[in-house]
Amino acid sequence: MSIRSRFSNLLRYIASIRNPRLFLYRTFHYLNSDVPLERARRICGKNRADYAREGIGDLIIDTYDGSGQLVHPDMICFGAERWFVATPYPYGMEEYENPCIYRCTSAYEFVPHTCPISFQERHKQGTHLSDPVFLTTGSELYCIYRSTERREVSHLLYSRYDRVNDKWERPECFCSGTDDLLSPAFVYDGSIIMFHADWTSGKGRLTRSVLGRDFKLESSKEVSVSGLPQGYMVWHQAVRTCSADTSADELKGLFLLKKSRRSVECRLFRAVSHDNGLTWNVTDEVTWPDSKAGKMKYPYKSCFIPGEDGIILSFVDMSGRYRLIRLG
């Protein structure tokens, strides 16, 4: 880490004294140590009391680390059930990221399920498990996510759901690259189609890859995205077929945009493709309801609610907390 980056981190650390809960998390972050579970739960309780007073209708979901702060949501229908996955990200602390999988017994009840990896292997800055997403081929359900080491190398892994034993199988790696290959999203149309943002050149290019049923790469190319706001590029994305996840001809996307990798503020847009994801058109920005004005600092990666027009919006609030609500 450069001297400039260290100095910037120090300034942010000092400034967070005004937000005691954030300051505590940052203290443990720089010590490379976990916030004790009971302390995390007490902080979570205080935060949820704040949410209740604000009354914007947060999705309240428990996490393994006790923080209740979630990001990178995804939801899918498999059989007669809905499945939900997200990862803890308390106050933006990456080392807590780890896919948490839930069965959805209703629109607001999320029952924890066995995860591909129950806990982080170690607590270390720059090492995390992020960007979880589901894929179904009709007969199989997979959870796919990134394993990042020291903010340098990332591996994409998949875990298959074993319906017979009601558990997730051991993860398998199918792709490795730099930490600039972000946010995989999948649809199935005989082959597995993967989209991801590629920032290796400092620009957020959207890449479309075709994988075989064994997750081996068959082809890959950059695709065009029209209608982007001036200066913005694709950072994260969610992709679903337009009807019942049965055909990939028409796709809808939720694109999280930003101007640079170092940029903090993000904007969330809907997008559509009519040619199997070879070209995309950004259509409209996901707006924050006036009744909730002043609560959101900026949106983060969000997901579609299958079978509905709504989305689960991930956002950062004015106190640096990562939260989820339903829109639509």
- Look at residue 11 and tell me whether its pLDDT is greater than 50: yes
Q: What percent of the chain clears pLDDT 90, i.e. is strictly above it?
A: 59
Q: Distances from the Cα of 282 to the Cαs of 139, 242, 253, 256, 262, in angstroms?
A: 32, 15, 9, 11, 23
Question: Which residues lie below 8 Å from residue 36, measured CB to CB, with a gap of 6+?
Answer: none
Place of tokens 């170690």: 122
Torsion of CA 107, 113, 179, 186, to 10 degrees: -60
Place of tokens 């694709």: 234
Q: What does the alpha-carbon distance between residue 230 and residue 163 come to, in Å, rounded to a whole number?
A: 46
Amino acid, res. 84? F
Amino acid, res. 258? K
Phi then psi dihedrals of residue 154, to 5 deg: -125, 145
Task: State the pTM of this model.
Answer: 0.92
Confidence band, pLDDT 50/70/90 cuts, at residue 319: very high
Q: What is the mean pLDDT of residues 199-217?
A: 91
- Look at residue 6 and tell me whether its pLDDT is greater than 90: no
Q: What is the mean pLDDT of residues 154-161?
A: 92
Indicate the SS3 state at residue 64.
Answer: coil
Q: What does the alpha-carbon distance between residue 97 and residue 100 come to, in Å, rounded to a whole number?
A: 9
Confidence at residue 4, expressed as pLDDT on a 0 to 100 scale: 66
Confidence band, pLDDT 50/70/90 cuts, at residue 116: low
Torsion of CA 275, 280, 283, 284, to 10 degrees: 130
pLDDT per residue as tens digits for the range 57-71: 999 999 988 999 999
Kindly report the number of other CB atoms within 10 A of residue 241's CB atom.
Answer: 17
Average pLDDT, the chain: 88
Q: Distances from the Cα of 108 to the Cαs of 82, 128, 274, 286, 326, in angstroms?
A: 12, 27, 32, 21, 9
Q: What is the mean pLDDT of residues 189-207?
A: 91
Measured in whole angstroms, how far is the alpha carbon of residue 328 from the centre of its chain?
19
Q: What is the mean pLDDT of residues 90-97?
A: 91
Confidence at residue 246, expressed as pLDDT on a 0 to 100 scale: 47
- Look at residue 12 and tell me whether its pLDDT is greater than 90: no
Q: What percent of the chain clears pLDDT 70, i.e. is strictly above it?
A: 92
CA angle 209, 212, 213 (to 5 degrees): 130
pLDDT per residue as tens digits for the range 250-284: 899 999 999 988 887 899 999 999 999 999 999 99
Q: Which of 258, 238, 319, 328 lies closest to 288, judged by CA?
A: 328
Q: What is the mean pLDDT of residues 15-20?
A: 89
**Residue 211 · residue 263 · CB < 8 Å:** no
Confidence band, pLDDT 50/70/90 cuts, at residue 193: very high
CA dihedral sign, ordered 244, 246, 251, 253: positive
Confidence at residue 248, expressed as pLDDT on a 0 to 100 scale: 53
Kindly report the number of other CB atoms within 10 A of residue 183's CB atom.
Answer: 21
Q: Which residues of 221-240 are buried (b: 16+ CB within 10 A; e: fewer)?
A: eebebeebeeebbbbbbbbb
Confidence band, pLDDT 50/70/90 cuts, at residue 20: very high
Residue 33, strand partner residues: none
- Token pair for 212: 């075989």
Phi then psi dihedrals of residue 51, to 5 deg: -60, -40
One-character DSSP codes across 116-143: SSSS-S---TT-EEEEEEEEE-SS-EEE
Helix (H) / strand (E) element for 23: namely: helix 20-30
- Look at residue 51 and tell me whether its pLDDT is greater than 80: yes
